[in-house]
Amino acid sequence: MSTIKYPNGTKHAQMGLTSDYHSGRGMRLENDLNDSNAYYRAVDRALIYKKPTPIQVVRVDYPSRNRAKIVEAYYRTPSTTDYNGVYRGRYIDFEAKETQNKKNFPLFMVHPHQIEHLKKVHFHGGIGFFLIRFTAYDCTYLVDSEILIHEIETMDRQSIPYAWFEQYGHPVHEGYQPRLDYLSIVDALYFKEERHYEKTQK
């Protein structure tokens, strides 16, 4: 597996060039996903975007006629997950998290509103999951939201061991294009039954 390093990503955050500094994860996974989604869109495989970070604008100046400059604004807590879109006619919704922890995925990284949101995605017939990257191993797992949420809600811990992801998660192949081929996992996990269903209908 290869490593793509985005030294600038971190640097950007320090210099305030990114609106994601507060989201509790680094920028590498986000960059990989943005690249992958751009590729999926370019080849018409899926239409999936990262949502903009919600910002509360308080004051805007107009130094020139055509360019509004925001001079006071604050980050707001997102009420949903970061990514959504449409794939093979289905609604797709997921949250991506990156941890440097070698043994565990710390649960403080998953916010209660994200759990509630993904429960509702499932209720309404959408496809919901988490993409969890352990940067120490350069390994990203796709985990179905129902399974991870069940684990979070029935256990009495502050974190989920890495071994759990090895067992219940699905490692996402890293490559050149797409960087993270998570839709191949989505195909296998969420469209298997549909294919089966189509076959039995014929």
Member of 75, 115, 173, 181 binding its own copies (CB under 8 A): 75
173's CB contacts (< 8 A; 6+ apart) are 180, 181, 184
Q: Is 126 in the site for its own copies (CB under 8 A)?
A: yes
Q: What are the binding residues for Mg(2+)?
A: 80, 82, 95, 114
Nearer Cβ to its own copies (25/133) = 25
**What residues from 162 to 201 belong to the interface with its own copies (CB under 8 A)?**
201
Residues near its own copies (CB under 8 A), total: 55
Q: Is 117 in the site for its own copies (CB under 8 A)?
A: yes
Q: Is 14 in the site for its own copies (CB under 8 A)?
A: yes
Query: How far lies 89's CA from each of 113, 186, 191, in Å?
Result: 26, 13, 11
Helix (H, G, I), strand (E, B) or coil at 135: coil
Helix (H, G, I), strand (E, B) or coil at 25: coil
Dihedral angle over CA of 149, 153, 157, 162, nearest 10: -20
Q: Is 124 in the site for its own copies (CB under 8 A)?
A: yes
Position 100: which residue type?
A: Q
Using CB under 8 A as the criterion, what x/- string covers residues 17-56 for binding its own copies?
xxx-xx------------------x--x-xx-x-xxxxxx
Closest distance of CB 63 from its own copies, Å: 11
Which element (helix H / strand E) includes 158? Answer: none
The residues binding its own copies (CB under 8 A) are 13-14, 16-19, 21-22, 41, 44, 46-47, 49, 51-60, 62, 67-76, 78-80, 84-93, 117, 120-121, 123-126, 201
